[in-house]
Amino acid sequence: MRQLQTLRNVIFLSILGISFISCGGGSGSSSSDVDTITDKKSGVLVDPYITGAILCEDLNKNGTCDEGEQTSSATNSNGVFTFDNNLTAGSHIIIDTQGYHNDVPYTLDISGVVDDNGSIDVISPLTALLTKGLTSVQIVTMLQNAGLTNITEEDITANPLEGGINSLNTNNKLRKLHATLAVYGMLKTIEGSDTLNNLSVQELVTSAQIGGEVNQILTAMVSGITSALSEDTIANVQTQVDMYENQMSTPPEVSVRVVASTAVTAIDALTKIAYEACNQTDGNDSEKVENALQAFNNS
């Protein structure tokens, strides 16, 4: 499919280019990819890291930051936010003021559920499914039905960028990043689709079963991402970088932030093509999604 080659080319060339641009500036260092979180009132907003966002604790779970509900600090360059007061188990953490990823405004409403111990380690597209009412088991099943068979329940609330570039040296270790990016692409497509953006939780779960419209979208995302963003892609980029090592005083380094950011840029472009095709198609839901996937595959 053409979108696989598009993703491969864009990701490979962009990672390579950004790695060289960032050399000497320190932004490629994997040591700065993750802040250590020790406070239960702190967490990370990641898709990849979203900066300048302010979150709130949605105590009544109405999807709105109401008066009196506490807000966080603005997220830093590693997506870290902190609340002043302890969090309530089961409450939702939602975005009050959107921030930036890849230096462009972030528009997707992702969120997370405060754990039973009062902590919220990570907010990502995967945790957004939890606040929609899906269980971890349902999310894992959804991803497995789409072809990501090695995902686990623990991965749903994990930071996909944690561990730096060394954590991405096998396809199995890439699974959290694959899952996050695939669900991001799915949610972007659903959000932009006039047909799919009002699905209830049960409708979403049903549609995510093999053969359903959401399953077809997520399967296309998983297929494209796992093929384009693989251990071979990262190894090939690093090989190209290493070729110039002796010619530079400070050779560039491929960072996990660069890898994730580049993939998101490609996904943004392709999902826009897909949901616009969906909205421009007459007919039932299946026909709309079929046309969207065809546009995605031909991009």
Contacts of 202 (CB under 8 A, 6+ apart): none
> What DSSP designation does 196 have?
T
Q: Where are the chain's structural domains?
A: 2-34+125-297, 38-120
Strands 42-45 and 122-123: parallel
Contacts of 248 (CB under 8 A, 6+ apart): 23
Q: How high is the pLDDT of residue 29?
A: 39
For residues 59-68, give the mean pLDDT: 96
Q: Count CB atoms within 10 A of the CB of residue 270.
A: 23
Confidence of residue 27 (pLDDT cuts 50, 70, 90): very low
Q: Please state which of the ranges 97-111, 144-158, 282-296 shows the lowest mean pLDDT.
A: 282-296
| Per-residue pLDDT at 59 exceeds 70 | yes
Q: Write out pLDDT tens, residues 243-271.
A: 655 565 554 455 566 666 666 766 776 66
Is the distance from CB of 260 to CB of 229 less than 8 angstroms? Answer: no
| Per-residue pLDDT at 238 exceeds 60 | yes
Mean pLDDT comparison of 138-152, 169-183, 193-207, highest-scoring range? 138-152
Percent of the chain residues past pLDDT 90, beyond the cut: 46
For 81, the token pair is: 């936010």
Q: Write out pLDDT tens, residues 146-164.
A: 999 999 999 999 998 887 6
Cα 28–Cα 34–Cα 39 angle in degrees, nearest 5 = 160
Confidence of residue 24 (pLDDT cuts 50, 70, 90): very low
Cα 220–Cα 124–Cα 209 angle in degrees, nearest 5 = 40
pTM tops 0.85 = no
For 85, the token pair is: 């007061």
| Per-residue pLDDT at 36 exceeds 90 | no
Q: How high is the pLDDT of residue 299?
A: 56
Q: How high is the pLDDT of residue 186?
A: 92
Q: How high is the pLDDT of residue 201?
A: 94
